[in-house]
Amino acid sequence: MNRVMLTADFGLSRIVHGQMRMAGWKLTRPELQSFLEELVDLGVTSFDHADIYGNYSCETLLGEILMGNPGLRNRIEIITKCGILLKSDKFPGRKIKYYDYSFDHIIASVESSLKNFRTDHIELLLLHRPAPFFDPETVARAFRTLKKDGKVLHFGVSNFTPSQFEMLNAFTDEKLVTNQVEISPLTLEHFDNGNIDFFLREKIKPMAWSPLGGGRILNPSDDKGSGVLMTLRAIAGEMQVRSVDQVIYTWLLKHPAGIIPVVGSGNINRIKTACEALDLDMSLEQWYRIFTASRGKELP
């Protein structure tokens, strides 16, 4: 599988595996280990996490597999996120969900993630969401410390706008390498808020979370969703592919911004379906038919 280079010497697999729902897959440890090994054999080597996933449990699940199979660690790239504090039974004194990008919290969150993953470094740390209370100098100092100590190799963000990305980038020693945002045939927000243009201008390869719309594309609940699904099915027939999923992944992969889909399934066949899209193509007209179906009107 081809890789997407985020810097001259650091890249991710063209398909990233999202492990947010790992705790819900109910796989035994041998089953999970077999599944992860099969992913890597397919070339899907980049694993996407966050400290909060699975009510603070998913990082530990991956760490248990890595502890039992140390050779696997050298074949993967770990992505994780920090900054969101959930109201959770794990933290009974916490009254609300909020964000914390203080120096102490970023450092403590990474230390916790390293312990959970049973590793001494994380390839890519993302700030999970932009925050209304945010000190970029403090964040940059935390990044500088983690980089100097070899605990995090690269940094990025998630769900940031272009201005928020540029603001933080102005303070960091090393440039942010990616922004993980929601992109799907149902979610065109980042074509409207300037992010896609920004990615192209700055040659930033974005990751796309929820590329299938969180199931809303395949199970539409409104006229817009039904129209998008009808268009996807028609194009699947034209492309002679076996699933609408492959049309969606092809639509994302075709875009010149170099969008990296984050595929969050615990079913290996669904991952194989995504990987097969790497060998597919669609016409420019087909790409725009999907875009227009989501817009609900012709281009101006």
Active site residues: 53
Q: Quick check: helix, strand or coil at residue 57?
A: coil
Rounded CA-CA distance 186/213 in Å is 6
> Residue 228: CB partners within 8 Å, gap ≥ 6?
185, 186, 217, 220, 290, 293, 294
CA distances from 257 to 18, 56, 196, 287 (A): 20, 32, 7, 14
Strands 84-85 and 98-99, how do they pair?
Answer: antiparallel
**What would the two tokens of residue 134 be?**
């945010």
7 secondary structure, DSSP code = S
- Quick one: DSSP state of residue 44? -
Residues in Cβ contact with 201 at an 8 Å cutoff, skipping those fewer than 6 apart: none
